[in-house]
Amino acid sequence: MEVEFDQHYLKDNSVITKAIENSFISDKDIILEIGPGEGILTREILKKNPKKLIAIEIDEKHKSHLDNLSQENLEIHFGNALDILPSLHCDKIIANIPYGITEKLYSIILEKKIPLVTLLHGIDFYKNIIQRDTRWKYFVSSLYTVELLEEVPGTSFNPPTKVTSALVTLTIKEDFSAFDIFIQNLFQKRYRSLSNALLFSLVDTLKLSKKEAKAMIKDYDFSPLLLEQKVTQIKNQDVVSIIEQVRSIFK
Ligand code: SAH
């Protein structure tokens, strides 16, 4: 059961306080929590009196705990957050998430452009978005300013986690550069072939004709095999190299 639902309950109140403080909750906010578990974070979010808190929990064994929290501005859904989240509106996400869904959750967050997100997840994915040359680093930073609030040791959870975690906030940028907009476009088109994703991202971002954008792509001399593949199927190092080459247009 633990493995199936990644259940590691937070037991460090200072981490919860930090997550809440950095989410700047107001009575206008619709907040979403993924995996409330027994409700340790849920309770603290409710104390800040948001307009609404929507909590999505997959495991019905937590129903009795969560029912105890029942109040008018709390809406609890039982089900898989990855299925439910795409059709919900929210202003902010605050969650100690099940680590197994980190990457899929980031995709949904980027698609929905949620203004402020405070997440606790494995440090490895944090390194992906900030240090390592991965597509995630480009995708996330095209939309958000990323801040590491704290590194949280495995012993802060019950049962303890094997890996260290990162408490991270993503704050949507106030201004986007043309390059940011190009990368956001590329992300939205990641299920298309590289050639189409590049073509339409350049057309949209630089307001070019298709003919002009095609000529531009041809000049890069990318391998025809790569151009046929979907962006999601291309290796990180190739995606990064392509992005870095195209970046010169935006300088
Ligand atoms: N937020 C709580 C629990 C964290 S453990 C705390 O900090 O103590 C992760 C929680 O996410 C568990 O309650 C688990 O049942 C739930 N969960 C796992 N996969 C999920 C999914 N796909 N959708 C919604 N909840 C999920």
Rounded CA separation 244/168 (Å): 26
Sheet holding 116-122, edge to edge: 74-78, 52-57, 30-34, 92-96, 116-122, 165-172, 144-152
By most ligand atoms within 8 Å of CB, the mutation choice from 3, 16, 59, 108 for ligand 1 is 59
Decide which of 131, 149, 172 is a domain's last residue. Answer: 172
Same domain, yes or no: 54 and 108: yes
240 alpha carbon – ligand 1 mean position (Å): 32
Positive or negative CA dihedral for 26, 27, 32, 33? positive
Q: Is the shortest distance between the CB of 39 and ligand 1 below 6 Å?
A: no
Decide which of 172, 201, 225 is a domain's last residue. Answer: 172
Same domain, yes or no: 158 and 212: no
Decide which of 172, 198, 214 is a domain's last residue. Answer: 172
Classify residue 2: in a domain, yes or no: no
The residue segments making up the domain with residue 88 are: 9-172
Classify residue 4: in a domain, yes or no: no
Same domain, yes or no: 152 and 240: no
Of all residues in the chain, the percent with pLDDT exceeding 90 is: 96
User: Residue 1 — pLDDT band, cuts 50, 70, 90?
Assistant: very low
Same domain, yes or no: 90 and 18: yes
Same domain, yes or no: 76 and 151: yes
Assign residue 146 the CATH number of its domain.
3.40.50.150
Query: How many structural domains compose the chain?
Result: 2
Assign residue 203 the CATH number of its domain.
1.10.8.100
By most ligand atoms within 8 Å of CB, the mutation choice from 5, 32, 64, 101 for ligand 1 is 5
90 alpha carbon – ligand 1 mean position (Å): 18
Mean pLDDT of 62-86: 96
Mean pLDDT of 218-240: 95
Classify residue 221: in a domain, yes or no: yes
Q: Is the shortest distance between the CB of 9 and ligand 1 below 6 Å?
A: yes
Same domain, yes or no: 189 and 148: no
232 alpha carbon – ligand 1 mean position (Å): 27
What residues contact 243, with CB distance under 8 A and at least 6 apart? 135, 138, 183, 186
Closest residue by CA, ligand 1 atom 22:
80
Same domain, yes or no: 137 and 185: no
* 107 φ/ψ angles, rounded to the nearest 5 degrees: -60, -45
Positive or negative CA dihedral for 136, 139, 142, 143? negative
pLDDT at 201 over 90: yes
Closest residue by CA, ligand 1 atom 21:
80
Same domain, yes or no: 133 and 19: yes
Same domain, yes or no: 19 and 74: yes
pLDDT digits 0-9 by tens, 45-55: 999 999 999 99
Q: Is the shortest distance between the CB of 232 and ligand 1 below 6 Å?
A: no
Mean pLDDT of 92-99: 97
pLDDT digits 0-9 by tens, 28-70: 999 999 999 999 999 999 999 999 999 999 999 999 999 999 9
Closest residue by CA, ligand 1 atom 11:
35
Classify residue 119: in a domain, yes or no: yes
Same domain, yes or no: 79 and 122: yes
pTM for this one? 0.96
